[in-house]
Structure 1
Amino acid sequence: MSSQTKRRMLSSPPATSSSPVQPSHTVTSDPRHVTMETYWTEVQSIEEEKEGEEEEDEEDERKSMDEVELEEAWLTEAGLFSLVMGSAEDTDPLPAGALLSTLTRQQVATVKRRLDNYNETLRKRNRQPIRDVRDVFAQPDDNTADTNPSPQHTHNESPPTRYHMTTKTIRRNTHRVQPTRPALFFEDQLHEHPSPPPLTPSPIHTVSPPVTRSRRADWLQRDSPYSEGVVEHKQGGACWDCLCFHGDDNSDEPFAPVSPSQGLTCVDDLSSCDLIQLSFISHIELSTFLLALGIQTKRTRPPRRRTRDGGVFGIPLDSLLENDRKKFPGAKVPVVFQKLLTVLEQTGLQTEGILRVPGSAARLKHLRRELDRCGWGLDWSTVRPVEAAGLLKLFIRELPIPLLTHTHLSTYRCVLGISAVVHQVQALQLLSLLLPEAHRDVLGALLVFLRKVVSHQDQNRMSLWNVSMVMAPNLFAWRQRGNKRSVAKQREEMEEAVGGAHLIRLMIIHQDLLWTVPNFLLSQVRQMNQASNQKQSGLSRTRRLLRRKRDQNQVTELCEGVIRVHAPLHTKVSMAIQLDDQMKARDVTARFESENSPIQHLYEVGGNICERRLHPDCVLLDVYRINPHCDWLIKP
């Protein structure tokens, strides 16, 4: 698309717009015009950088996947690969039966629908289905009664009952209120938005209450999945969250995580084993949640891109981290990416138009060659802020696997079909939990930086919408689709631009919430661990009886409220502690602290969790009741 065409689009918006765009003479006269101009300026800058480069033909690679491929991919990502490959559950590290036993009725219905569709497609192709759905779900679920829980469950149940997930439908006195849906979602987001107050930066994946006004994200405490909460939408009604937050004009106010008594859990608090199981359940829940909202997801084959053997740009994140960890053990983001963020935070936050103003194309090409040659050893004192910003965006665009991944990129776009912002945030939260670790950490570091840029908007003239618009074509891989564009295609590209910016805006505002594990997901991970341990147990009947007797003795001891905390790195190797209703994790770690010791954390290890770092404010007696057979460990 030529630059003249884009300029015409700026002055002549799509016919679906509610009001025409007037020419802008100042930075703040018309936010809609300014943000769209920011987007197309960034697109034009990207095109200029690609001039002269060899373009790859990706048309064939971007065709939609067929039914068999779609269902195979979905079942595999849900941890149900044994149903596809026909392998025996006894040989699987995570048996499918353990996962299926944790699902609610709606989640089971989603898996059944996928498996039925997979088998039916195989039959049409005269291929024998590997597993019939009746063999997988042999036990009927008709006797499963719907319960009517409160959103904030009490925790007085015994552990086996606590983790048995039955269908839980939230029934409120909704009076069947139907939220008003906008005719075109993007139009509502283009009206003038007040500049948000400065946001306090927080460390990556660390949940801290914002200093600005916020809305309580109390759904984190619920035991019922998001898909259960929106069941009213199928009957044309409104769920509780829609009634609370729909039509809320304060869309720039973040949702503040509300901690359950056993403490908030972030993805970084869980072990890799628990994260694998969390991704399986999150994948099933996301599909069920979107289906309940009437959102259909699509997937295309990932484009084939050339990979490089060395350098910095165009290298997978995992490869970069593998090389960086040889010199910097424990690095969570590539060193070059972190260095670019550091340079920008030190010199660029107050630079007017940072991220928006492009640097010299020739200078960027030179710096790119230098970074590919010497990596983070570049003389950074010679790099101007606008050049560092250009390198940062170039690094993101050149990733062989997009930061949001080929697998989930189309689902991110589907989130735009959800009318209520609260459900969009919930869907983005589930998607964030599905990202690979390296992509999740880099995205988290990027969002923290973008929030810092917005907090300095009085100096750099970069509002939240400006930052979102300039990052949209970089994160959502905008591609030129030819020079001859119809009016309909131009409108589609306009909506795509605003939609991508809206998603980035939501991720910047609610970033502390994205990495938080809802209580219902953690409960399903615990149940899956418990079922998996029972499935894989190869003990003889005699040894199981001995263990049962030993566990009964342990429960008797634990019921008295006494735990033993182990601290192998301290002079006090272990300590017996009597729990009460007021004791928190910080009270225990304080007993092991010394002047020169690093920050210590308390972990629950074993039982129905592999390992979880406890939030300092969690009530230990509630954790003890949920996982009575765990060990307690103090370590950094």
Structure 2
Amino acid sequence: KVAAMKRTATVPDTETLDLPGMLLLHRGGRRNTTFGVDFQEQVDKFRTKVPPIVSKCLSEIDKRGVMIKGIYRVSGVKSKVEHLCQRFDIDPEAVDLEDVHPNIISNVLKLYLRQLPEPLLTFRLYSDFIHAAKENMSGQLFGENLLEQLKRLISRLPSSNLCTCAVLMHHLHRVASHSEFNQMSASNLGIVFGPTLLRPLEGSTSLASLVDTPHQTRAIELLITHAHILFGPSENFPVTPSQTPVEQLNQTLGGVIIP
């Protein structure tokens, strides 16, 4: 049985990156390919269920960043973050991250997810995820009932959102497994990613979103902690772009989610 989870840690506030203009339109009026672009438009363009920027960033952090203290919390150098964002918007498939510090990569990934016109977990399911988190925090929903409810919610995501969410949550689970060294437990990662992956239609600065912040955090914490139960084995959702073609991931979806 999975007991109702308790919050035990907090993450200090960090500098919020704000890169206006560059994320909306390049000089000369050329439209962005990545930042601020509709999620489905991106996966259709690159014929993959996981956008290249997500696959590349997660893959590199898996290789070099999971042991870094404060990964995903510590801010990177703003000019370097902006430069990498521009490279991804020019040609995301051509970006090489081998010599980029993981803190820069993690900041770019967070910024990308924050700039999606609709959050990864969608506006439509916002209230349902928040409700499940509230019931878990109050002790009304836990154990198998909690997991079944989360599985039902996940199954309602568009397939590309679901695949990307699965890849991301398995990655964050790996990060959290090294929390003794990086100090980024599932609860701390939930604080970082909650308001980014779950936000209401009114916007992340709305009163509803501010009131719901603890529940956004808990919902993501639960998805991270129980990634293997909710999404299936991580082997079904490889991070490397060449391993996530549309056809393979369509087959993977069939056996992962309980309707």
TM-score using structure 2 length: 0.73
Does residue 408 of structure 1 match 2:130? no
Residues 1:346 and 1:504: Cα distance change in structure 2 (over 3 Å): same
- Is 2:107 the counterpart of 1:390? yes
- Indicate yes or no: 2:200 matched with 1:479: no
Deviation at 1:343, TM superposition (A): 0.6
Partner residue of 1:437 out of 151, 159, 162? 159
Contact 1:416 / 1:424 at 8 angstroms: preserved in 2?
no
Higher strand share: 1
Alignment partner of 1:498 is 2:211: no
C-alpha displacement at 1:510, in angstroms? Answer: 1.9
Of 46, 64, 70, the residue aligned with 1:324 is: 46
Q: Which has the higher helix share?
A: 2
Cα offsets for 1:132-173 (capped at 9, x unmatched): xxxxxxxxxxxxxxxxxxxxxxxxxxxxxxxxxxxxxxxxxx
Contact 2:61/2:105 (8 A) holds in 1: yes
Counterpart of 1:311 in structure 2 is 33
Amino acid at match of 2:72: L
Aligned length: 217
Q: Residue in 2 aligned with 1:425?
A: 147
- Give the whole-Å Cα distance in 2 for the aligned partners of 1:391 and 1:353: 15
Q: How far apart are the structure 2 equivalents of 1:335 and 1:499?
A: 29
Match of 1:367 in 2: 84
1:349 corresponds to: 66
CA change 1:332–1:469 in 2 (3 A) is same
Cα separation, 1, equivalents of 2:114 and 2:213: 16
1:458 partner letter: E
**Alignment-derived partner of residue 457 in structure 1:** 179
Q: Deviations over 1:226-253 (max 9, x none)?
A: xxxxxxxxxxxxxxxxxxxxxxxxxxxx
CA distance in 1 between counterparts of 2:222 and 2:79 reads: 34
Counterpart of 1:510 (choices 201, 209, 226) is 226
SS at match of 1:382: coil
Counterparts of 1:582-621 in structure 2 under 5 Å?
none
Q: C-alpha separation between the residues in 2 aligned to 1:462 and 1:356?
A: 8
Amino acid at match of 1:439: N
Judge conservation of contact 1:355–1:470 (CA < 8 Å) in 2.
yes
Distance 2:62 2:49 in 1: 18
Q: Alpha-carbon deviation of 1:311?
A: 1.5
8 Å Cα contact 1:433/1:514 also seen in 2: no
Q: Residues 119 and 196 of structure 2 are in contact (CA less than 8 Å); yes or no, is this contact kept in structure 1?
A: no
Partners of 2:32 and 2:179 lie apart in 1 by: 37
Give yes or no for contact 1:321–1:334 (8 Å, CA) kept in 2: yes
Relative contact order, higher structure (CA 8 A, sep 6+):
2
Check whether the contact 1:314–1:398 (CA below 8 A) recurs between aligned residues. yes
Aligned residues: CA RMSD: 3.0
Percent pairwise identity: 25
Q: Distance in 1 between matches of 2:183 and 2:134?
A: 31
Distance in structure 2 (CA, Å) of the matches to 1:413 and 1:472: 10
Q: Would the alpha carbon gap of residues 430 and 377 (structure 1) be closer, same or farther in structure 2, given more than 3 Å must change?
A: same
Counterpart Cα distance in 2 of 1:382 and 1:53: 23
Q: Which amino acid aligns with 2:223?
A: M
Which amino acid is 2:212 matched to?
A: E
Say which is worse superposed, 331-340 or 353-362, in terms of deviation: 331-340
SS of aligned partner of 2:125: helix
2:51 is the alignment partner of 1:334: yes
Q: How far apart, CA to CA, are the structure 2 residues paired with 1:465 and 1:430?
A: 22
Query: CA offsets, 1:188-215, max 9 Å, x none?
Result: xxxxxxxxxxxxxxxxxxxxxxxxxxxx
Deviation (angstroms), 1:453? 0.2
Query: What CA deviation, in whole Å up to 9, does each residue of 1:449-492 have, x standing for no partner?
Result: 000101111221212211111111221236234xxxxxxx79x8
Q: Return the index of the structure with the highest Cα Rg.
A: 1
AA aligned opposite 1:502:
R
Q: Shift of residue 515 of structure 1?
A: 3.9
Structure 1: give runs of 5+ residues left out of the alignment.
Answer: 1-30, 56-307, 326-330, 482-488, 517-611, 616-636
